[in-house]
Amino acid sequence: MVWLYLVVRPHFGSRPKTAVCVGLVSWLLSSLYAAVYSHSGFPGILPLDVVWPPVAWQLFEYPLAIVGGAAIYGE
């Protein structure tokens, strides 16, 4: 995910807002998509109360991870 931030940084600037946006896009493409697909593709295997709490936690975790990775990366 930090690699994706480094790719879009020249276009959008090296600001925390850019890192948060990359984190939200990463969350959308990985966690949310996987949760929706697993529930619609394989209904009944996992109950919703098991699937959605980690997805909700990752909504905060991904942007924080990108901001932290961007802070560590120095050019």
Instruction: Please compute, for residue 26, the number of CA atoms within 13 A of its CA located in the half-sphere on the CB side.
Output: 22
CA distance 19 to 4: 9
CA distance 30 to 25: 9
Structure tokens at 17: 């807002």
Q: How far is CA 2 from the centre of its chain?
A: 11
pLDDT tens for each residue of 4-59: 999 999 999 988 999 999 999 999 998 888 888 776 666 777 777 888 898 899 99
Would you state the pLDDT for residue 47?
Answer: 79
CA distance 5 to 13: 10
Would you state the pLDDT for residue 23?
Answer: 94
Q: Say whether pTM exceeds 0.85.
A: no
Residue ranges per structural domain of the chain: 2-72
